[in-house]
């Protein structure tokens, strides 16, 4: 049975079951759907003369010499041997592997799998594995305590169950798009005999994921299409509001505002996405939409993904709206209960016209008097469901979603197919390009001096610390230690602050407002400052372990500087990293254009990259890659359309597995079930 706990199938104990659970694996089905992240190709044997520097290969060779072995120091010894096939010689080195020599047959031919290094004409392999059978070996993502071998043999033991996996893709879809059956797919994603078979399997699994994803998104969207709302057309106050702003709106802002106001004036509810790169001035645009809603006699709500950002919006928008006679309120999760209650009361009786808040806004206790406009800021940080949850508070409000994550057109059709898109494609004047440098540890001293220079010129600095996603505690420790160390190195007159996700909302606000006022000069932080925060005097962003971040995330973080008139800088510290890291950092240095970066970002990610989809508020995909599998997206979209045209809510018996899979996929990201 697929739903059997893996402990009982594998005969493993509580402790090991717990380790599997950490990988999200509880049942046989979970394990069968736990896909390898890569493969070691031990099926093709290469000739030594054909080897290239840096590649992972198999060679078949015989010893040419005896072992030479030496103990270098207490815990370090090496074992070297020279081997050859009929095309050349390779020099092999192992470290601390004395046992290899013991059972080694100097006359036998072995297969070695490992990484090749070429120095001049010399071919070397360091720590290769001696492999027995020439297969394609799956490599699974691990967790501490579980090895490749443990996972691999667990999957092997579950293989007999594959014929019980229900087929969720309808036969006609499989035929039309030449997809293999689910049992073939699962068998060959784990243990493919050839890479052709693997690709056939992966293609099908990617198709399945993208089909389920799109069906889920369409089910969510169905609720909002063709809703009738209230026209909000009191726009006579806009001109004087705009006149009082400390800047003139850009042409792009004006155009987008026109698009929004014309939507809002209609009876059909607005579903509009505003895309604008970091710093393009989306807040002012949303302020005008909210102004019009309030002056038309209705309520508007704006939801931000973090407390820091909600508070900041509240602080910057309140004075602007209050002088037009509009009452503004703030609602966040960390407010004291009594305060929350008071705000909720005023929302319900209509005393508050514009409310700004976090997820707290979508809780059941929050009831609006006459909500007609919902703004979601930085929507990429919200899940698919949260995006619209606020709009379901009754009254069929107009919906405005704002995002700084630009995505390629084909993708946005899938992700926001129900939304009209406005693009703010112009930056406020006078912005300078943020100078970006990717550097290694050797530059540390120079960067430290540079920091001091910025500080002495009166500027402020952000430092973002490594994110260790497995453990929030470790992440916190790293940031804390970093801040402590920094306090000792920067002159006493500069204040170092520390910001992280574990602080209470009030503590976060405190630190952020002290930074905004210039009382804190250097802010060490985890990625909680990623979205939206606006401190124009901050001109230097230093990102540690930049190789661990996605490009779009780096771009967001970098967008915290360059918000004023001073030249700003972004320093990306990288620890090692391969060719892909190098390419990624190069892109960051070359362009400040969020669109280009987003596209490259998707391109450089492998399938199953967690951030790839999470960046867009989507569930995690395991087999598909949103960028590389664009052709599959289109096909799956057509299939989804036909399936829904037959059974618009997937209530029919033959669609029950599809429905189950959708619920499962969307539940993964903490979304609420579909109902």
Given the rule CB under 6 A, which residues bind ligand ADP?
247, 249-250, 253, 276, 278-284, 404, 428, 532, 534, 536, 563
- Among Mg ion, ligand ADP, none, the one that 557 touches (CB under a kind-dependent 5 to 8 A) is none
Q: How far apart are CA 150 and CA 12, in angstroms?
A: 11
Q: Is 441 left (phi over 0), alpha (psi -120 to 50) or beta?
A: alpha
Minimum CB distance to Mg ion smaller for 283 or for 545: 283
Q: Is 305 a binder of Mg ion (CB under 5 A)?
A: no
- Among ligand ADP, Mg ion, none, the one that 279 touches (CB under a kind-dependent 5 to 8 A) is ligand ADP
Residue 534 CB, nearest approach to Mg ion (Å): 7
Chain positions 501 to 560 lying near Mg ion, rule: CB under 5 A, are 532
How many residues bind to Mg ion according to rule CB under 5 A?
A: 2
Strands 354-357 and 328-331, how do they pair? Answer: parallel
Q: How far apart are CA 95 and CA 69, in angstroms?
A: 9
Place of tokens 């987008």: 256
Query: What does the block give as tokens for 351?
Result: 């005393």
Q: Are 330 and 305 in contact (CB under 8 A)?
A: no
Site string for Mg ion, 227-266 (x = CB under 5 A): ----------------------------------------
- Among Mg ion, ligand ADP, none, the one that 534 touches (CB under a kind-dependent 5 to 8 A) is ligand ADP
Eight-state DSSP code of residue 454 = H
Question: CB within 8 A of 665, min separation 6: which ones?
Answer: 209, 212, 213, 216, 619
Residue 250 CB, nearest approach to ligand ADP (Å): 5
Kindly provide the b/e burial profile for residues 342-375, where b requires at least 16 CB atoms within 10 angstroms of the residue's own CB: ebbebbeeeebbbbbbbbbbbeeebebbebbbbb
Minimum CB distance to Mg ion smaller for 395 or for 532: 532
Chain positions 271 to 300 lying near Mg ion, rule: CB under 5 A, are 282
- Among Mg ion, ligand ADP, none, the one that 584 touches (CB under a kind-dependent 5 to 8 A) is none
Q: How far apart are CA 255 and CA 253, in angstroms?
A: 5
Residue 281 CB, nearest approach to ligand ADP (Å): 3
Phi, psi of 281 (to 5 degrees): 95, 45
Minimum CB distance to ligand ADP smaller for 281 or for 607: 281
- Among ligand ADP, Mg ion, none, the one that 560 touches (CB under a kind-dependent 5 to 8 A) is none
| Closest among 570, 504, 517, 522 to 543, alpha carbons compared | 570
Minimum CB distance to ligand ADP smaller for 410 or for 567: 567
Q: Is 138 a binder of Mg ion (CB under 5 A)?
A: no
Residue 563 CB, nearest approach to Mg ion (Å): 10
Q: How far apart are CA 498 and CA 503, in angstroms?
A: 10
Query: What does the block give as tokens for 115?
Result: 């990484």
Query: What does the block give as tokens for 363?
Result: 């809780």
Residue 526 CB, nearest approach to Mg ion (Å): 19
Minimum CB distance to Mg ion smaller for 405 or for 454: 405
In the chain the first and final C-alpha atoms are separated, in Å, by 28
Q: How far apart are CA 512 and CA 530, in angstroms?
A: 13
Residue 280 CB, nearest approach to ligand ADP (Å): 4
Minimum CB distance to ligand ADP smaller for 31 or for 301: 301
Q: Is 562 a binder of Mg ion (CB under 5 A)?
A: no
Place of tokens 């700084």: 404
- Among ligand ADP, Mg ion, none, the one that 281 touches (CB under a kind-dependent 5 to 8 A) is ligand ADP
Minimum CB distance to ligand ADP smaller for 424 or for 461: 424
Minimum CB distance to ligand ADP smaller for 377 or for 544: 377
Which single residue brings its beta carbon nearest to ligand ADP? 281
* Contact residues: Mg ion, CB under 5 A: 282, 532
């Amino acid at each position: 049975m697929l739903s059997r706990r893996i402990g009982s199938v594998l005969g493993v104990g509580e402790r090991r079951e717990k380790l599997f659970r950490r990988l999200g694996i509880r049942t046989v089905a979970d394990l069968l759907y736990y896909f390898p992240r890569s493969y070691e190709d031990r099926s093709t044997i290469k000739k030594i003369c054909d080897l290239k520097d840096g590649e992972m290969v198999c060679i078949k060779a015989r010893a040419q010499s005896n072992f030479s072995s030496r103990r270098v120091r207490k815990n370090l010894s090496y074992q070297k041997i020279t081997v050859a096939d009929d095309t050349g010689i390779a020099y092999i080195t192992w470290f601390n592997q004395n046992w290899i020599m013991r059972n080694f047959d100097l006359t036998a031919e072995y297969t070695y799998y490992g990484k090749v290094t070429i120095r001049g004409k010399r071919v070397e392999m360091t720590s290769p594995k001696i492999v027995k059978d020439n297969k394609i070996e799956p490599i699974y993502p691990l967790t501490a305590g579980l090895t490749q071998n443990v996972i691999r043999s667990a999957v092997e033991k579950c293989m007999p169950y594959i014929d019980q996996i229900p087929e969720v893709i309808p036969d006609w879809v499989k035929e039309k798009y030449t997809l293999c059956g689910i049992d073939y797919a699962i068998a060959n994603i784990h243990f493919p005999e050839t890479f052709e078979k693997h690709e056939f399997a992966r293609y099908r699994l990617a198709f399945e994921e993208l089909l389920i994803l799109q069906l889920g998104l369409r089910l969510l969207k169905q609720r909002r299409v063709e809703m009738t709302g209230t026209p909000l057309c009191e726009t006579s106050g806009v001109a004087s509001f705009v006149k009082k702003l400390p800047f003139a709106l850009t042409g792009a802002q004006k155009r987008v505002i026109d698009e929004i106001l014309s939507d809002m004036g209609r009876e059909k509810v607005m579903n509009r996405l505003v895309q604008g790169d970091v710093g393009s001035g989306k807040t002012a645009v949303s302020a005008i939409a909210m102004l019009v809603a309030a002056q038309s006699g209705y309520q508007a709500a704006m939801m931000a993904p973090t407390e820091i950002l909600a508070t900041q919006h509240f602080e910057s928008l309140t004075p602007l709206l209050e002088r037009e006679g509009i009452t503004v309120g703030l609602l966040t999760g960390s407010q004291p209960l009594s305060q929350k209650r008071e705000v909720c009361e005023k929302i319900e009786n209509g005393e508050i016209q514009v409310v700004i808040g976090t997820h707290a806004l979508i809780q059941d206790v929050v009831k609006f008097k006459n909500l007609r406009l919902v703004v979601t800021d930085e929507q990429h940080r919200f899940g698919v469901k949260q995006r619209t949850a606020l709009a379901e508070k009754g009254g069929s409000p107009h919906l405005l979603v704002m995002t700084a994550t630009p995505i390629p057109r084909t993708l946005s059709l899938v992700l926001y197919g129900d939304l009209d898109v406005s693009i703010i494609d112009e930056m406020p004047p006078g912005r300078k390009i943020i100078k970006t440098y990717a550097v290694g540890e050797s530059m540390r001293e120079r960067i430290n001096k540079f920091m001091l220079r910025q500080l002495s010129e009166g500027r402020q600095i952000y430092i973002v610390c490594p994110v260790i996603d497995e453990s929030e505690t470790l992440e916190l420790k790293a940031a804390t230690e970093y801040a402590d160390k920094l306090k000792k190195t920067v002159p006493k007159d500069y204040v170092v602050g520390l910001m992280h996700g574990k602080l209470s909302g009030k503590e976060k606000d405190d630190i952020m407002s002290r930074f905004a006022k210039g009382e804190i000069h250097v802010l060490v932080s985890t990625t909680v400052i990623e979205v939206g925060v606006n401190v124009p005097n901050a001109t230097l962003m230093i990102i540690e372990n930049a190789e661990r971040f996605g490009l779009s995330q780096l771009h967001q973080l970098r967008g915290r500087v360059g918000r004023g008139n001073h030249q700003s800088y972004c320093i990306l510290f990288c620890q090692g990293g391969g060719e892909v890291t190098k390419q990624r950092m190069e892109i960051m240095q070359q362009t400040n254009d969020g669109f280009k970066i987003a596209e490259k970002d998707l391109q450089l990610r492998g399938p199953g990259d967690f951030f790839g989809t999470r960046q867009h508020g989507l569930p995690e995909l395991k087999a598909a890659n949103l960028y590389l599998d664009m052709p599959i997206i289109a096909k799956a979209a057509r299939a989804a359309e036909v399936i829904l045209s037959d059974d618009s809510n997937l209530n029919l018996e033959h669609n029950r597995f599809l429905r189950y899979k959708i619920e499962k996929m969307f539940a993964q990201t903490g979304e609420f079930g579909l109902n």
